[in-house]
Amino acid sequence: MNGFLFDQRNQKHANMSSKTDDNGKEIPEKLYDSSTDKTYRRMRFFGKGSFGKCYEIVDIATNEVYAGKIISKKLLMEYNQKGKMTQEITIHRSLNHVNIVKFHDFFEDNYNIYIVLELCKKRSMMELHKRRKSITEYECRYYIYQIIQGVKYLHNNRIIHRDLKLDNLFLSDMLYVKIGDFGLATRIEYEGERKKTLCGTPNYIAPEILNKKGHSYEVDIWSIGCIMYTLLVGQPPFETKSLKDTYSKIKKCDYQVPSCLHKSAADMVISMLQSNPSRRPTIDQLLRFEFLSSSPVPKFLPSSCLAMAPRIEAKEIDHDVPNQKMALIEINLVQYNDTRLEYTFLKTNLHDAITASAYFYQDNGDFRSDLKGLYQQLTTLIETKPRILPGNLDDENTDPAAQPLVWISKWLDYSDKYGFGYQLCDESIGVMFNDTTKLILLPNQINVHFIDKDGKETYMTNTNYCKTLEKKMKLLSYFKRYMTEHLVKAGANNVNPETDQISRMPHLHSWLHTTCAVVMQLTNGTVQFNFSDHIKIILCPRMSAVTYMDGKENFRTYRFLTIIQHGCCKDLYQKINYAQEKLGEMLEKLFF
């Protein structure tokens, strides 16, 4: 990129607009690249960054879908970031690796720079972290191996990323890791060069950057260590309530490795998180650590892992044994009491009040904690008395990344005889029987999970199952047939059917009828209210967000903090108030 052109070539499209950019100008609905004669249509809003916004964009001629970063030139000039943007584009466009977000093109007009990138529909690993907190070592091995491969490619090309973090690691449809955002990346010009720029993100920044002693490739190794720790433990190794304290802990290399981590995982983390950069392994040496070399790295993960732990570790599946049956187990799930905050703290600060309650999800089986955390979040929101708006907030105040991955698209109450049936947005079918046992038919319409009264899970298929379950399997098929033939699906989600043996879907934990709604709580903490006026709200405590689905099945997802700051429409506010009241009643019944 040879500077900014500031030409008039896109001005003929300026009247085709509906969104305002950071220059106060309208973002065109059609984005025209005169150098390639391509026109893109701006579609869904994805998110906002420091200097611009991100949208889904579609090549009108080919219907190919991309992510489009629209960056304000005015803000770049105001903050003297022109050179930084030039360097980011120069570096990123030179890269080509399966584990790096593909750079397709860039162009500009008088007001914005438009960067066309590979679209990663499963968002970033930060959303995975928020929904899951800690993941299994089996999954961590999968993600870390791919991160290392991407960084190895960068280092081989003399590039340091310098901002590796969960927010900058994106996931494709197949859950392949894609390293993105090269805004802080730099190129090593000669052997032994040490960079002096103070840059990075607090929870991931290496001590030599803070100490201003000069840094090189080793800062990426440190960041990978922070990422691996965060994925396995559920929180960053040096995280505190203040930036000063975090930096102090980093400089002292002051962190604790939980004893529950297996030695191979702990050894690898410790090797990367060393104050002296020369003692850290190189990117090639990381691949030889026991954590990655002693067990096969998974070749894939099902998308269900975004919401739930996989069913079992792959090494426990013997693919040569036909019709294998085995108990479903949770792997590597750890409760960390030090992150369970007292509710008295939640009222001291609005941001803390909303975000801190997300820490109540370490104990995956404690559904009372799920409800309690969500109730506190809604209570905090209501106590701030947000503004009531005449209509919905605009798209740029929504947060599509916080939209629930799984929700109930159909339900059927036949509890007067058998139980409560439902279909999830991914086509899986479940029944909660009156005796509190459950059956779940996975999206591939083959694998079936049975949960007994004590919560023990058993795996089977729709043709090979325990004969004592024959009646319930028939009832499951009846519920499925009725919902398929007679009920309209709400908010269809385009999720590909799972065909593997390790998928594990969230399922219905509890439900109840109220005077004007059906309330359904899933095992991943999500609580859904289907109101009699056909409005639906889906409350996601781990993302601290509400999804508002109107009668036309339009989705709008708002962070609770956004509603506190900007308000919401009257109908949504009333629904949130109702939900908070009913959650309070549910908690009273659970605790008293």
Mean pLDDT (the chain) is 85
Higher per-residue confidence, 362 vs 514:
514
Q: Is 308 helix (H, G, I), strand (E, B) or coil?
A: coil
Q: How many CB atoms lie within 10 A of CB 329?
A: 14
Alpha-carbon distances, residue 64 vs 28, 89, 176, 431 (angstroms): 19, 21, 19, 39
Average pLDDT, integer, range 134-139: 95
State the pTM of this model.
0.85
Higher per-residue confidence, 50 vs 28:
28
Average pLDDT, integer, range 259-267: 95
Answer whether 406's CB lies under 8 Å from 505's CB: yes
The answer, yes or no, to whether residue 111 has pLDDT greater than 50, is: yes
Output the pLDDT for position 320: 37
Output the pLDDT for position 202: 93
Q: What is the pLDDT of residues 139-155, one digit of tens each?
A: 999 999 999 999 999 99
Output the pLDDT for position 77: 86
Output the pLDDT for position 24: 53
Output the pLDDT for position 498: 44
Average pLDDT, integer, range 338-350: 33
pLDDT level of residue 51 (50, 70, 90 thresholds): confident
Average pLDDT, integer, range 155-166: 97
Sequence-ordered list of residues with C-beta below 8 angstroms from that of 127, at least 6 positions apart, any chain: 306, 401, 402, 543
pLDDT level of residue 75 (50, 70, 90 thresholds): confident
DSSP H or E stretch at residue 521: strand 517-522
Average pLDDT, integer, range 83-104: 95
The DSSP call for residue 417 is T
pLDDT level of residue 79 (50, 70, 90 thresholds): confident
The answer, yes or no, to whether residue 571 has pLDDT greater than 90, is: yes
Alpha-carbon distances, residue 526 vs 63, 371, 429, 465, 508 (angstroms): 34, 9, 17, 30, 10
pLDDT level of residue 591 (50, 70, 90 thresholds): low
The answer, yes or no, to whether residue 255 has pLDDT greater than 60, is: yes
Q: What is the pLDDT of residues 210-242, one digit of tens each?
A: 999 899 999 999 999 999 999 999 999 999 999
% of the chain exceeding 70 in pLDDT: 84
The DSSP call for residue 207 is H
The answer, yes or no, to whether residue 499 has pLDDT greater than 70, is: no
Nearest residue to 542 (alpha-carbon basis) of 518, 556, 555, 523: 523
Q: How many CB atoms lie within 10 A of CB 350?
A: 17
Output the pLDDT for position 455: 87
Distance CA 49, CA 79 (A): 14
pLDDT level of residue 49 (50, 70, 90 thresholds): confident
The answer, yes or no, to whether residue 510 has pLDDT greater than 80, is: yes
pLDDT level of residue 28 (50, 70, 90 thresholds): confident
Output the pLDDT for position 359: 35
Answer whether 220's CB lies under 8 Å from 256's CB: no
Which range among 185-199, 216-230, 485-499 has the greatest average pLDDT? 216-230
Q: Is 359 helix (H, G, I), strand (E, B) or coil?
A: helix
Backbone angles phi, psi at 64, to 5 degrees: -70, 140
Q: Domain spans of the chain?
A: 30-118, 123-301, 351-590
The answer, yes or no, to whether residue 364 has pLDDT greater than 80, is: no
Backbone angles phi, psi at 54, to 5 degrees: -125, 135
Distance CA 152, CA 317 (A): 31
Domain 351-590, architecture per CATH: 2-Layer Sandwich (3.30)
Provide CATH code, domain 123-301: 1.10.510.10
pLDDT level of residue 27 (50, 70, 90 thresholds): confident
Average pLDDT, integer, range 74-79: 85
Q: Which residues are catalytic?
A: 163
Q: Does domain 30-118 have CATH number 3.30.200.20?
A: yes
In DSSP terms, which residues pair with 548 in a beta bridge? 537, 556
Distance CA 267, CA 128 (A): 24
